[in-house]
Structure 1
Amino acid sequence: MSISIYVRRILLGLLLISAVACAAEEDTQPTFHEEENPNALSDWGMFSVREKTMTLADNVIPYDIATPLFSDYALKLRTIWLPDGTQSVYNPDEAFDMPVGTVITKTFYYPTADTKDEVTYNRARTVSSGMMDLHGLRLIETRILTRRESGWDAVAYLWNDEQTDAYLKRTGAIIPLTLERPDERREDFAYLVPNVNQCAGCHATNATTKAIKPIGIKARHLNKQSSFAAGFNQLDHWIAKGVLTAELTDEAPRNADWLNVDEPLDRRARAYLDANCSHCHNPNGPADTSGLDLEPDATGASLGICKTPIAAGTGTGGRIHGIVPGDPDRSILVYRMETNDPGAMMPELGRGVTHEEGVDLIRQWIAQMDGTCGT
């Protein structure tokens, strides 16, 4: 056998191996696990990560919400997948009724500064044509929320150092990071990957039933222009994709984008409190004993205006009322958002640093309120 023929055969073999590998890469398929959570995130098949590119599998739909929950400035990629032939059912007020087999993912990530442990923010990425460039990013965790016959299950996966896959972390984790703010201030903090019980602590939005439900899959959060399908409202896009069955004859509820200064200040502030607080602070939620309701339709003392605390303990910062119109510095709500004292800060989980921009929004909102608490 001549050397040239030998070399050609080797090259042909390498090409065949490469073709098989490419076919395998293209073969990523969403998989619903009926009972057990697999050890590797990749076993769900919602997306793959290769050569610093995340590629969504077929029929895995990226989405976002008008005003998201603050999580130590982490950016988030949300996706949803439903089994073929199934649809979710629209509800104007509550989480949509999702079919068994639904898989929702939320991947938390940061732009990196100088090293992988030094992170920053305000540089969001997006999915384009089903792919997202991961250069300059650190993937931290992906949370799975899946609808099984017995109800919803929530679990977290921690990304490996190689950033190629994530692995089941039922017990949670604490990751030391350094946050570099846009003005170059640096702040060390501990990023919390929640354990299974902590996942339920937020997603069990009814203190009586304690049933886990999605938080963001509600009309008011999803009713916005799609960031992934140009020209579509996101709800209309879901209907067009067959993911949602609905006849939106009336105006669907809509939360404001808290960053949109063209929206009224009151709507922006109420959207922020809804997204960050109302899954606990609602009439039936885990924080129902506080008597504080931060859902969009709450008013007066229920909203905290001139309300004295019921179950705040030492978490008042020496202040008397939840909200003092015109005076954010005397309002408990502002103190609990500003402080990093574990016994007083709100939210209790998922926050190691203060959301300065969010606090500033709520300060502005309270400062422009009319009225007095009589003290």
Structure 2
Amino acid sequence: MVRTGLFFITVATSVIFYTACKKVEPIEIPDPGTPSNKVSLVLSIVPYQKLSSYRFFQGDIKNQQPADGVMEYEPISSLFTDYALKKRFIWMPDGKSADYVADSDILNFPVGTALIKNFYYDHVMPGDVTKILETRVMIKKASGWIFAEYIWNEEQTEAYLDMNGGYVDITWNRNGQELSTNYRIPSETECKVCHKLNDVPIPIGVKPQNMNKNYNYPDGVKNQLQKMIEMGYLSGSLPPNINTVVNYSDATQPLELRLRSYLDINCAHCHSAGKHCDYRPIRLGFSETVSKTNMGLCVEPGEMIDPAMNYIISPSNINRSVMHFRLNATNESVRMPLLGRTLVHQEGVQLLEDWINSIEFCE
């Protein structure tokens, strides 16, 4: 007897009508033992074919109203993905909780955890509408984390499992400027490029250093980590002082602290030990960029892009800095990050420029 969730009935027979064959697809039927207002996640059969089958959201799912037990959260600094907006959620089974490991480490989530991330745009043309493009779900099974990629239909009534990736042409208005891109929805292989440690799939942003901030919940403003403790989603005690990133868009914060926070969320998932680009001579995690050498200051790139670019970061010279060149590029062979963007993040490039121009000498 499945305690909670959905189960599949697969009809394997083919019915022949004259010369035509009709394939009968798997059918998802709610488990009558699960209340309709509860999340349904059965580890033995996920990922489901439809996003709605999980019941992460109540009412019309395009409104992204979290169901009972689904916690919305927001990192202090966000990964740039062609200016897409994001809504993120956490759900855990009853009686299960995560454990603190370290400020800069992913929380140790229990089996059964689901991390949900929706990508959408406001002011989409024509019509000036909101449009959700994809929802990425990571689910922790006993064997480890799995990816489930859901692509939304044009009607915005449902999202369907598709692990092959794809493209969506989109035009939208951002702060009075019309932007367009052929938005990339990642394949399963592409997901793993960024979401891995020693070739094992892992989440990226759910670290205490990224979540130690207040959020406006329906029952009031609360620190996100304390909210997790209140919900029973985080056990044990937290250290009194968490080494916390800043919002890189906050101009009131110190310039170097902003850049370090930017590099952590946008680059460290590859440029860290055991990650995709660990062979590169830089380490861009927030706890490691206290050293400017780890950031690439006066460090030779180990590759020849242009003889004029002699260092990853050249003091006071953006034209001789490989990091600036890569961050400002859109060509797939040289841009950084490798995946997740087709446009240049103008604000991120400006932040890097400002910092490079503030550095006068090698350490």
TM over 0.5: yes
In the alignment, is the contact (CA less than 8 A) between 1:104 and 1:145 conserved in 2?
Answer: yes
In the alignment, is the contact (CA less than 8 A) between 1:75 and 1:108 conserved in 2?
Answer: yes
For residue 177 of structure 1, report the CA deviation from its aligned partner: 1.7
Q: Which has the higher strand share?
A: 2
Cα distance in 1 for residues equivalent to 2:135 and 2:262: 23
Counterpart check, 1:70 vs 2:80:
yes
For residue 369 of structure 1, report the CA deviation from its aligned partner: 1.4
Counterpart check, 1:221 vs 2:213:
no
> What's the RMSD between the two structures over aligned residues?
2.0
For residue 74 of structure 1, report the CA deviation from its aligned partner: 0.4
Cα distance in 2 for residues equivalent to 1:242 and 1:106: 21
Counterpart check, 1:33 vs 2:42:
yes
Percent identity over the alignment is: 31
Cα distance in 1 for residues equivalent to 2:169 and 2:312: 33
Structure 1 runs, 4 residues or longer, greater than 6 Å off: none
Structure 1 residues 222-278: Cα deviation after superposition (integer angstroms, max 9, x where no partner)? 011123363321111111111101312420121101111221111111000000000
Counterpart of 1:144 in structure 2 is 137
Match of 1:351 among 341, 351, 355: 341
> How many pairs align?
324
Counterpart check, 1:80 vs 2:95:
no
Cα distance in 2 for residues equivalent to 1:318 and 1:29: 59
Structure 1 residues 268-321: Cα deviation after superposition (integer angstroms, max 9, x where no partner)? 1100000000010012211011122111223243321111112x454x585121
SS at match of 1:86: coil
Counterpart of 1:157 in structure 2 is 150
Amino acid corresponding to residue 213 of structure 2 in structure 1: K
Match of 1:304 among 272, 275, 296: 296
Cα distance in 2 for residues equivalent to 1:49 and 1:141: 19
Cα distance in 2 for residues equivalent to 1:328 and 1:49: 50
Cα distance in 2 for residues equivalent to 1:68 and 1:313: 31
Counterpart check, 1:112 vs 2:134:
no
In the alignment, is the contact (CA less than 8 A) between 2:99 and 2:234 conserved in 1?
Answer: yes
Counterpart of 2:15 in structure 1 is none
SS at match of 2:257: helix
Structure 1 residues 209-229: Cα deviation after superposition (integer angstroms, max 9, x where no partner)? 311111111010001112336
SS at match of 2:137: strand
Cα distance in 2 for residues equivalent to 1:341 and 1:114: 26
Counterpart of 1:194 in structure 2 is 186
For residue 52 of structure 1, report the CA deviation from its aligned partner: 5.8
Structural mapping, 1:240-279, within 5 Å: 240-279=230-269
Further displaced range: 104-113 or 32-41: 32-41
For residue 31 of structure 1, report the CA deviation from its aligned partner: 1.7
Cα distance in 2 for residues equivalent to 1:144 and 1:51: 15
In the alignment, is the contact (CA less than 8 A) between 1:49 and 1:165 conserved in 2?
Answer: no
Cα distance in 1 for residues equivalent to 2:252 and 2:236: 29
In the alignment, is the contact (CA less than 8 A) between 2:327 and 2:335 conserved in 1?
Answer: yes
For residue 49 of structure 1, report the CA deviation from its aligned partner: 5.1
Cα distance in 2 for residues equivalent to 1:292 and 1:52: 41
Cα distance in 1 for residues equivalent to 2:252 and 2:214: 15
Amino acid corresponding to residue 244 of structure 1 in structure 2: L
Cα distance in 1 for residues equivalent to 2:157 and 2:58: 8
In the alignment, is the contact (CA less than 8 A) between 2:61 and 2:158 conserved in 1?
Answer: no
Cα distance in 2 for residues equivalent to 1:113 and 1:161: 12
For residue 187 of structure 1, report the CA deviation from its aligned partner: 4.2
Q: CA 1:139–1:48 in structure 2 vs 1: closer, same or farther (change >3 Å)? A: farther
Q: CA 1:181–1:55 in structure 2 vs 1: closer, same or farther (change >3 Å)? A: closer
Q: Which runs of 5+ in 1 are unaligned?
A: 1-25, 119-135
Cα distance in 1 for residues equivalent to 2:63 and 2:280: 45
Cα distance in 2 for residues equivalent to 1:54 and 1:211: 30
Q: CA 1:42–1:113 in structure 2 vs 1: closer, same or farther (change >3 Å)? A: closer
